[in-house]
Amino acid sequence: MDLSCEIPRVPPHEFPDPALDAAPAAGEQTAVLAGGCFWCVEAVLKELDGVISVRSGYAGGTAETADYDMVCSGRTDHAEAVEVRFDPARVSYGQILKIFFSIAHDPTQLNRQGNDRGRQYRSAIFTADEEQERVARAYIRQLDEADVLGAPIVTEVSPLDEFYEAELYHQDYAARNPRQPYIAYTAAPKVAKLRKHFGDRLKR
């Protein structure tokens, strides 16, 4: 299995900050993102300062098909996704998207990440409201215009209907299984890259 993804044209820390970002707000907010295997996306985003929790799950399909075996079959509308609860006073929605695009996955790969192939591994942003949609679409345009990835971004942006939490054994999987080959060769390097390029934005 090819566990690698494309290398961005510019280093992650040189990705531009979102020119349009969500307004600061009190209380918790939620972002739902899909970028290949949810183990990897969860492992990266849970390290960010201001992130309260990250849950792995499924988005884009129905309750009846929110099951790992069914989603893996590629015959559902679900994507493997994560639900990120965050404090917008400490980390903005746009800054989470910056890490999502620069570290967590390769948004130029259509319906796959490396050799993980199928619509369940698509790059997608499931928005909670119109503001999140505006920020997401604006940032995708900004990154494409700056050509930081060297190829067009194929990330889907669509309203979130429902997020379905994945089975218990998927939660915090990378932290609990650091020697599992997929984690060691895919998730761990992404976490290492995050720590190298964004060390000042991580939990202490």
Catalytic: which of 5, 37, 40, 72?
37
Alpha carbon distance 81, 34 (integer Å): 4
- Report the Cα–Cα distance between both ends of the chain, in Å, rounded: 34
C-beta of residue 51 within 8 angstroms of C-beta of residue 91: yes
Alpha carbon distance 119, 61 (integer Å): 11
Alpha carbon distance 98, 104 (integer Å): 9
Burial class, 200, CB count within 10 angstroms (exposed 0-12 / middle 13-18 / buried 19+): exposed
Whether 72 is catalytic is no
**Residue that has been written with the tokens 């609990």 in this structure:** 176
CA dihedral 121, 43, 150, 109 (to 10 degrees): -10
Alpha carbon distance 79, 57 (integer Å): 8
Alpha carbon distance 86, 31 (integer Å): 8
Residue 74 in tokens: 């590629």
Question: Which residues are marked as active site?
Answer: 37
